Structure 1
Amino acid sequence: MGGGRDKRKKVAKKLGKVSADKRTGATKTALKREKNAEKNHRRLERGLVEDDIDAILAAMAIEDARRAEVEVEKDCPRPQARGHASLTATVVGRGNELILYGGERVTPGDEKCVVYGDLYRYDVDRDRWTKVSNAKGPHPRSGHQALAYGGYVYVFGGEFTSPNQERFLHHRDCWRFDLESNIWEAMPAKGGPSARSGHRMAIWGKKAILFGGFYDTGREVRYYNDAWEYDFEKSEWKCRCAGGEGALGPSPRSACHVGVHDDAFIVYGGYCKNVDNDGDADEDRSERGTTFSDAWKLDLKTWRWEKLKRQGLAPSARAGASSAMHALKKRLVLFGGVVDHEVKRGDVIVSEFFTDAYNLNMEAKKWFPVTLYGEDKTKTHKAGSLEEAERVAAGDVVNENFNIRSEAHRAAIKIQAHFRGYQVRKAYKLYKVGGVVSELLYSPGSGEAPPKSLPKPRGRINAAIAIKANSMYLFGGVVELGDVEVSLDDVWKLDLGNRPKWTCITPLSDEVSAQLAGGGAESDSDSDDGSGSDSA
């Protein structure tokens, strides 16, 4: 025994190694760190097989520690395809820049989920991406919320999904990204909302309002309908509405659409998944999703909820749509989404992906579709035609002689003047209205029917959108082709001016285009086994 130890000492001496009892404290600490790093790497190798989220995140932290504190790659390639990311417009005075953070994708072939923790700065004027890597930032996540305030972008919550999509880790931390230094800073989260993703947040002066979300461990599912207030100046959370089953206000949900106007917090739609456990085994669990289309107003002075009537031409019930506030025009803009249709007596479910966009007038609380236009070659309709169309679509115009140029326009305006919301669709079905009149129901005041063919993004869910000045920008999202989930990486801009139209800034990459071609025909309706969307 003793001789063996002496032999090892001699070998160590020949190799230039120092005996442990003669090492300095600093040397011992460094060696200990190296050993811990090796142990974490071995744990990672086991974890990748076992889907150990803790091991995966620990290994990511080790890789981050090896990098420089901040790495900035200018004029880099576009971000990888993904959905469930956040796209945030910086505040006025900070340049025409958008911040893309996080997201996830399911890789083709092995069907493994990859969650991103990278951050990109997008210059909308120059169409240039800059990638920022930070060694001390938040863990990778998707389904979070991001808001711009002052010189920072704040991020709260979100989730990390294991590669085999069987384990989930929900976050309750709050971080802010300094737009000047490119450095992340962890903010106090004590006493704040519980861990969640799929929640929604909106700016209210020097504060932010948070509502809803969900928590899903794979074995337990909880949806929330609580409302919280976050003070940017004090970095403090306050629970304003505790929520819960039976509470006055919206039912528990995630992935809804929110906005603030005149001290009122508006909530529209959302999604909730109910899980019935008929036994102990996972096979005995049945899931049933509910897609909401109701609207609520939370008075931010009294903190009382009020249910709103469905007015105007509201979007049909859908899950996975994206939305953003258009502060200049006091509107909430919604795009995309999906609805599942049961056919063949429920044996087959067909998913319809939407390509349309809608505006919610935050003052009148009325919906109207975003009508697309082609190039204005004739110049016959001057500025003001959009306002006319919006007033008619919102039901504010009852004068039948208002901007009428044909019998078709008269018919469309009559329907708009006497019917509201779903009754409009019921009316033109009842009176068998179709063709030009049906199209003009969506743009009667403009004096022209929408063009038959216009460039626009394909239908999708969980896209990242943001509004800067008078344009809405869209990146990525997810489409399902049969049983195949394809993440997208195209970039689009929707001009929200007098004649709205889509412009493709960056088309789909060859890789994503090949996935779409291999997954099925490019259509807006694709067969699927049915699903809603929580963390869009």
Structure 2
Amino acid sequence: MGSGRDKRKKAAKRSGKDGSGPSGDAKTSAKTDKNAAKLERRMAKAAADDDIDALLANIRLMDSKLKEVEVHEDCPKPGPRCNCSFTPTLAQKPAEVIMFGGECVDATGKTQTFGDLFRYDVDRNKWTKVVSPNSPPPRSAHQAVAHGGYLYVFGGEFTSPNQEKFHHYRDLWRLDLEEHAWENITPKVGPSARSGHRMVTHPKGKSLLLFGGFYDTGDDIRYYNDVWELNLEAMTWRCRFGGDVAGGASTLEGPSPRSASHVSASNDSLWVYGGYRKFAGDGEGDDGDVEKGSTHSDLWRMDLKSWRWEKQKKAGMAPGPRAGATSATHGAKKRHVLFGGVVDHEIRKGEVIISEFFNDAYSMSLDNGRWYPVCLYADKGSKPEAPREATGREEAERVARGEVFNENFNVRDATVRAAIKIQAHYRGYAVRKAYKLYRIGGQVSELLYSPGSGEAAPKTAPRPRGRMNAALAVRGNAMYLFGGAVEIGDVEVSLDDVWALELSARPKWRKIAEYSPEVAERVHGEAVESSDEEEEEEEKERAHAMEFRARKTVEGKE
């Protein structure tokens, strides 16, 4: 035992090297290995060619080989990702959140779309990976809702590795949370294929509500503002407002077509705040084929009795327009909590773009739509931090001048933008880049503490790094955050840290899990271990900053 001799002997017998000739098992094993190698070569070729049909066909083939449910308890946390679903279950014990799918841009710049499922016990901080036969194909930007012992998943998209091609789903899946059995229950009539939509449980508890989303394959771009209701007893969809909108607004009064809105339901109301929409170029000049984006900050309420929309006046201290923010409903306090996102500041007439990634949070009352900043408080005995002298654009300008370093501000030289063509097929995380390069600015309203409390966010209180497209879920009186994405220079980095925001009378963040070593190296690697090559690059950046300040001084004198 432990010497390895028996293992070598068995391996030799299987391969026929012991003189007995290949056994039946050896032949079967060799054939299986040959088929697996062939499948790997086909997938590698499909990935290289961005053949999305071949990729999906190979994924289905691999899934068909799985015959039984595999449950891996106490497994490592999921890998870095964004745009996944993060859904709290309804059971009191264990207090779980279900993660499904998502996407990640790796160190080589390739996009990986996931189809894995994890159960996260928030009380024990334990992850369980579940692998089931007949599971949905990999996807991101989908929606999932837990109801009555099931997890319902609708829509989403599959992205090819080079982000050249995209496949949008219109399928509806149901997962039995006890048996871990997936079932495709897609009705014949229902919402069209889409991503970036939002889905919530009807306050009466017998149906699900779906709003908005988009469909973009490069050749065809559509944004939606329709509302669909899924009857969970008859398992049928019914369109309650609007319909497919291709390139134009609905003739009915309601929110304009959009994706990535913040949607919640309470009493007889469906609330929709903000969202994002992309427009094709107007064909004039060099940027005619470039996509432009618009980030919304309007608030709408739908009466779920009459199914009519009414635009609401924003009250309180609402966040300014920002792309990539995420949100979750805190049912115990009847409020919706929004976190993060990004806005871009154009410095020196566009020569430098400073992307500000937010790590603040806001809550909206589901009774009256009034907004409040989530105030962070210090632990007992600690001293509060003085308010920052500059935020938003002022801070961005200081970062551009090299006066300060702020990890939530990403610097990008935009002088090369005239040579960059953002084609119509770009979307996913690249659509954010299109917004950054060609439609800059927007109102910034960053409130990290309540001016009425007199207490600033404490220096000793931990808080997550600013980010976009993070996963959020509320269990009890805590909001859990996983991953998301940031930009470091021209590179997008997906994150995998875990945090909890205590939504008590004195809210504060609690770090649950650090970055994995791979992510930490991409986020902090240059600063932690600086090689000669990296020091040379840093010296170039310092010289660039000094040159920038010198030009600024000369222009000021002129």
1:176 to 174, 177, 184: 174
Whole-angstrom distance in 1 between the partners of 2:214 and 2:228:
15
Deviates more, 1:288-297 or 1:236-245: 236-245
Does residue 444 (structure 1) correspond to residue 465 (structure 2)? The answer is no
- What is the SS of the residue equivalent to 2:56? helix
Shift in Å at residue 458 of structure 1?
Answer: 0.3
User: 1:196-235 alignment to 2 at 5 Å?
Assistant: 196-204=194-202, 205-235=205-235
Shift in Å at residue 35 of structure 1?
Answer: 12
Whole-angstrom distance in 1 between the partners of 2:191 and 2:236:
11
2:461 to 451, 454, 477: 454
Whole-angstrom distance in 1 between the partners of 2:352 and 2:378:
38
Q: Which amino acid letter does the alignment assign opposite residue 181 of structure 2?
A: I
1:397 is matched with which residue?
none
User: 1:279-298 alignment to 2 at 5 Å?
Assistant: 285-298=289-302
Whole-angstrom distance in 2 between the partners of 1:424 and 1:190:
44
1:112 is matched with which residue?
110
Superposed CA deviations along residues 490-528 of structure 1, whole A, max 9, x for unmatched, are 00001001111000000111111110124789xxxxxxx
Shift in Å at residue 207 of structure 1?
Answer: 1.0
Q: Which amino acid letter does the alignment assign opposite residue 336 of structure 1?
A: G
User: 1:275-354 alignment to 2 at 5 Å?
Assistant: 275-276=280-281, 278=283, 285-354=289-358
Structure 1, gaps ≥5 residues long: 1-14, 17-32, 379-421, 427-437, 522-536
Superposed CA deviations along residues 107-132 of structure 1, whole A, max 9, x for unmatched, are 10x21100000000011111110001
Q: Which amino acid letter does the alignment assign opposite residue 297 of structure 1?
A: R
Whole-angstrom distance in 1 between the partners of 2:294 and 2:288:
20
Q: Which amino acid letter does the alignment assign opposite residue 151 of structure 1?
A: G
Shift in Å at residue 70 of structure 1?
Answer: 1.1
Does residue 356 (structure 1) correspond to residue 335 (structure 2)? The answer is no
Shift in Å at residue 68 of structure 1?
Answer: 3.5
Whole-angstrom distance in 2 between the partners of 1:120 and 1:288:
36
- What is the SS of the residue equivalent to 1:169? strand
Check conservation: 2:269, 2:302, Cα contact below 8 A: yes
Check conservation: 2:228, 2:240, Cα contact below 8 A: yes
1:533 is matched with which residue?
none
- What is the SS of the residue equivalent to 2:54? helix
The structure that has the greater radius of gyration is 1
Q: Residues 366 and 36 from structure 1, CA distance in 2 versus in 1: closer, same or farther, beyond 3 angstroms?
A: same
1:148 is matched with which residue?
146
User: 1:72-91 alignment to 2 at 5 Å?
Assistant: 72-91=71-90
1:507 is matched with which residue?
514
Shift in Å at residue 364 of structure 1?
Answer: 2.2
1:66 is matched with which residue?
65
Q: Which amino acid letter does the alignment assign opposite residue 466 of structure 2?
A: G
User: 1:472-491 alignment to 2 at 5 Å?
Assistant: 472-491=479-498
Whole-angstrom distance in 1 between the partners of 2:44 and 2:456:
60
Whole-angstrom distance in 2 between the partners of 1:84 and 1:358:
20
1:492 is matched with which residue?
499
Shift in Å at residue 439 of structure 1?
Answer: 7.7
Q: Which amino acid letter does the alignment assign opposite residue 240 of structure 2?
A: R
Whole-angstrom distance in 1 between the partners of 2:99 and 2:443:
40
Whole-angstrom distance in 2 between the partners of 1:303 and 1:118:
36
Check conservation: 1:69, 1:136, Cα contact below 8 A: no
Check conservation: 2:320, 2:444, Cα contact below 8 A: no
Shift in Å at residue 48 of structure 1?
Answer: 2.4
CA RMSD of superposed structures (Å): 2.8
Q: Residues 218 and 453 from structure 1, CA distance in 2 versus in 1: closer, same or farther, beyond 3 angstroms?
A: farther
1:464 is matched with which residue?
471
Q: Residues 456 and 69 from structure 1, CA distance in 2 versus in 1: closer, same or farther, beyond 3 angstroms?
A: same
Whole-angstrom distance in 2 between the partners of 1:309 and 1:502:
31
Q: Residues 443 and 485 from structure 1, CA distance in 2 versus in 1: closer, same or farther, beyond 3 angstroms?
A: same
Does residue 251 (structure 1) correspond to residue 249 (structure 2)? The answer is no
Whole-angstrom distance in 2 between the partners of 1:43 and 1:276:
37
Q: Which amino acid letter does the alignment assign opposite residue 199 of structure 2?
A: M
Superposed CA deviations along residues 3-27 of structure 1, whole A, max 9, x for unmatched, are xxxxxxxxxxxx99xxxxxxxxxxx
Q: Which amino acid letter does the alignment assign opposite residue 300 of structure 1?
A: L
Q: Residues 342 and 62 from structure 1, CA distance in 2 versus in 1: closer, same or farther, beyond 3 angstroms?
A: same
Whole-angstrom distance in 2 between the partners of 1:517 and 1:94:
38
Shift in Å at residue 92 of structure 1?
Answer: 3.8
Structure 2, gaps ≥5 residues long: 1-20, 23-31, 383-441, 529-558
Shift in Å at residue 453 of structure 1?
Answer: 3.9
Shift in Å at residue 321 of structure 1?
Answer: 0.5
Number of aligned residues: 432
Check conservation: 2:321, 2:443, Cα contact below 8 A: no
Q: Residues 233 and 377 from structure 1, CA distance in 2 versus in 1: closer, same or farther, beyond 3 angstroms?
A: farther
1:393 is matched with which residue?
none
- What is the SS of the residue equivalent to 1:285? coil
Whole-angstrom distance in 1 between the partners of 2:141 and 2:223:
14
Check conservation: 1:172, 1:189, Cα contact below 8 A: no
1:262 is matched with which residue?
267
Whole-angstrom distance in 2 between the partners of 1:54 and 1:283:
31
Shift in Å at residue 452 of structure 1?
Answer: 3.4
Q: Residues 259 and 34 from structure 1, CA distance in 2 versus in 1: closer, same or farther, beyond 3 angstroms?
A: same
Q: Which amino acid letter does the alignment assign opposite residue 247 of structure 1?
A: L
2:541 is matched with which residue?
none
Shift in Å at residue 134 of structure 1?
Answer: 1.5
Q: Which amino acid letter does the alignment assign opposite residue 121 of structure 2?
A: D
